[in-house]
Each structure stands twice: as C-alpha cells, then as structure tokens.
Amino acid sequence: MSLFDKFQPIADIQADLQALGIMPFGAVTEKLLSSTEAIVNGHKVILAGTNNYLGLTFEPECLEAAKNAIDELGTGTTGSRMANGTFAGHVALEKELAEFFDRKRSIVFSTGYAATMGMGSTLAGPGDVIVLDADSHASIYDGVRLGGADVIRFRHNDPADLDKRLRRLGDRIDNTLIIVEGIYSMMGDQAPLAEIAEVKRKYGGLLLVDEAHSLGMLGDHGRGVAEAAGVEDDVDFVVGTFSKSLGSIGGYCVSNHDQLDAIRFAIRAYIFTASPSPSVIASTRAALRLMQERPYLRDQLWANAQHLYDGLKALGLQVSPEVSPVVAVTIKNRNQAIDWWNRLLQRGAYVNLVMPPASPTEDSLLRCSVSAAHSAEQIDRIIEAFANVQNTPVAN
C-alpha cells in the first residue's frame, strides 16, 4: 500500500485514453483566433465550451487597460491583500462592485474558488449549520467541509425540501447559513430563488448565493438570478467570479452586512494568498464597465442560447431541462461521451466533456456554452458538428 495507490484508477483511465489518442482533459489551446475561435489540439474549432458568456476577452478597452496596468504597476503584486497586495485598483474595484450590486460592502478575492470557498468556510464553523443545495459546486463543498459546520443537503432546486430541513432545525436556525447557486454550471438550470427566499423569510438564517454563472446574464442590471427574481433584499451575501462573464480571473463577495469588514480579516483564502495582478484588476474593471454599458450583450447571449438549444433539441439529443447559455447534452455511456467529444473536436466544435463525479448524475455530459460573441453562423456550425457525429457510426 502506498500513498500513490489511490491514484491508480485515474492513471488507468489516462492510459486507456492515451492508447486511443484522445486527451479530453489535457486539451491544449494552441492559439486563440478570437474570443470564439481557436486552435485546440491541432484542430481549428469554434469554442463552444467556455464561460466567456459576454465574449469580452478580446475587447480593446479591456486589453488596453490590462497593458497600461502592466506598464505602470508591473506583472504582479507579490503579496496578500492584507500585507503589501492591496493596490488602489483593488480598492476601486471593490467600490465599483458594491455600487453595481447596490450593496454597502464588497471584497475582491484572487479567484472565484477562493471567494466561495473562503466565505463558506469562514461564515459557519463548528456548532453552526449549513444547509446547501445538493448539486453545489466543489468550491462550496470544499469551503463548508473546511469550516467544520454541520452540513445538511437539500434536494437540488427543491424549496419544499429546504423548508422541511429548516423546520427540523428549531433554534439552530439562528446560526444557519443557506447556500445555493444562481445558474448551475453543469446543466444551466436556474435556482427557484423567489421560492427559496420565501422559505428563508419563513424560518430565518442567512442566505448566500453563488452567482458565478449568472453575472451579466439576468436581471435589469445584469446582477444575476437574485435581481431577476426580485429577491435581492433576502440575499445576505452574493459571491461570484471574474473568470466568466468578465473574462479575467478573481472573485468577489458583496453584502449589506457591515460585519463583512471584519469577516474579511478572518478569511484564510483572502489572507494567505497573493492578490490579483494589477492587469487582471484593470481588465476586470473595464469589463464591469462594458457589461453595464452594453446591456444588449445579454440579449445576444440569450438569442444564441435559444438558437443552440433549439438546434440540439431538434436533433433529438437529450438536452438540459431549460434554455440557458449552458446547454448540456446527456450521453449516458462514458466511452460514448469521450468518443463524441473527440469527434466534435475533429469537426470543429470544442465542448466540455464532463464525467461523474463532476456531473450531477451518473451520466456523462457534453457541456456546451454560448457567448454573446458567437455569430448565428457559428452556432449553426456547432449544431452541424453534432448532427455529423450523430449520423456517423461510432469510431471505436
């Protein structure tokens, strides 16, 4: 028995795939041609599996802001927010995020993972309770396990099950944190936040919503599912990331609770890691501005979502339950999913291959996502690639 034995199943899968010449989790983007096209593993592809929802990664204003920041401030901060790593840009971005979300307080983190994991692990500790949606992202699970609170899962997107579990808590509700996401990353389904907020109002507790995949997508201002559902006042903490609709990297938490200023200095994922580079902060600020100036990007994004959804559904594929910028195609058999992923790549469509345990069920997924920057013709080509794979006998 050695420390390495537990990795053997992964090594076996790797070896099988390598023998077939397929490396779905080692796909290398060799060249970016635009925010929607690239050369991946030697194939020219349309990027149909990114989180670049608003397509802002090559916006001239974002590029220029990042380049200027490098020239003026260098390549990195070389330190934690709590030590030498808080530059004027970090503080300005926190102010701009608070204004955008119409909240009093905000924290900028180095990644979305650090934001979600940091808040989850810090807000609730031993003796406290966390009630979370069963399909929560790994960063949520990692955080709550680290924090040491009692963790209770409720059925995915099921407010009645949440109600049942909160009712059972009795007095413990006073130190309970409820965690859900806005749009779920794998299937693209939205949390029924109006109903969840109603349950929270009935019993109490604090509510944290991870809007990683919904920022810039929903609500009059693009603030996400909470805004679209009209329940922002019921949400105590919104966390999210800069790595999707804002096209950079980093995370945030916004809140109206004054205690966030003290909580900041208790979050280990904030204290013990270097702060985001000045160029990252500069492009994020530019993207946040553009997102507000260009609400029509949201309309383009949803038009593209509908287009891809309708096209894949018309092929008879098993697509996710609701129209969303994330369209997941379920392929029950893992080897078939790998084969489809590979042949889609060869036919010019890059999608995400998701296998259990990363997928919410025992099935595998071909997770597709659209961007506001995709043209209608590109969406047609993605659908054509699926049709082509579907109509060709299995390769192996």
Q: Which residue's CB comes closest to ligand PMP?
A: 112
Among 55, 112, 216, 219, binds ligand PMP (CB under 6 A): 112
How far is it, in rounded angstroms, from Cα 110 to Cα 96?
17
Stretch 241-280: interaction string toward ligand PMP, x if CB under 6 A: x-x-------x-----------------------------
Choose the binding region for ligand PMP from 121-129, 149-157, 210-218, 364-372 (rule: CB under 6 A): 210-218
Choose the binding region for ligand PMP from 168-176, 205-213, 300-308, 318-326 (rule: CB under 6 A): 205-213
Of the pair 66, 183, the CB lying nearest ligand PMP is at 183
Among 139, 277, 320, 324, binds ligand PMP (CB under 6 A): 139
Of the pair 105, 213, the CB lying nearest ligand PMP is at 213
Closest CA relative to residue 278, chosen from 95, 60, 79: 79
- Strands 206-210 and 176-181 come out as parallel
Asked if 116 interacts with ligand PMP (CB under 6 A), we say yes
Among 210, 227, 232, 236, binds ligand PMP (CB under 6 A): 210
Asked if 359 interacts with ligand PMP (CB under 6 A), we say no
Choose the binding region for ligand PMP from 12-20, 207-215, 257-265, 284-292 (rule: CB under 6 A): 207-215
Asked if 57 interacts with ligand PMP (CB under 6 A), we say no
Among 36, 57, 111, 122, binds ligand PMP (CB under 6 A): 111
For the packed helices 376-390 and 296-314, what is the interaxial angle rounded to 10 degrees?
A: 20
Choose the binding region for ligand PMP from 37-45, 107-115, 254-262, 386-394 (rule: CB under 6 A): 107-115
How far is it, in rounded angstroms, from Cα 115 to Cα 106?
11
Q: Which stretches of the chain bind ligand PMP, using CB under 6 A?
A: 111-113, 116, 137, 139, 181, 185, 210, 212-213, 241, 243, 251
